[in-house]
Amino acid sequence: QYNFVEYVNLVRVNKAKELLMDSKFSIKDVSDKVGFINYNTFSRVFKKYAGVSAKQYRYEQGIKAGDDIQE
């Protein structure tokens, strides 16, 4: 059972997972597109719900993107 904020974050992370599959978007771009103003907040929330960082998630999916910012 999720409260409202948790549900919204879960939806954002699921959308971020979709966007991370497209190598034309940097992780920062994905963070912005799913509604996070602060990249650090995105990183923390993504890891909480996905179990891995956005960079690691992308790596595990075999997606190569040269412009990903460091975490």
Q: What pLDDT is stored for residue 13 in this prediction?
A: 99
> C-alpha angle 66/40/62, rounded to 5°?
35
* Residues 37, 28: Cα–Cα separation, whole Å: 10
CATH value at residue 27: 1.10.10.60
Domain contains 69:
no
Q: Considering its fold, how many domains does the chain have in total?
A: 1
Q: What pLDDT is stored for residue 71 in this prediction?
A: 46
Q: What pLDDT is stored for residue 12 in this prediction?
A: 99
Q: Could you read off the pLDDT of 6-56 as tens digits, one per residue?
A: 999 999 999 999 999 999 999 999 999 999 999 999 999 999 999 999 999
Q: What pLDDT is stored for residue 67 in this prediction?
A: 55
What is the CB-side half-sphere exposure of residue 58 using CA atoms within 13 A?
A: 25
Domain contains 65:
no
Q: Contact 68/30 with Cβ under 8 angstroms?
A: no
Domain contains 39:
yes
Query: In which domain, by residue range, is 43 found?
Result: 4-60
Q: What pLDDT is stored for residue 69 in this prediction?
A: 52
Q: Predicted confidence band at 64 (pLDDT cuts at 50, 70, 90)?
A: confident
Domain contains 70:
no
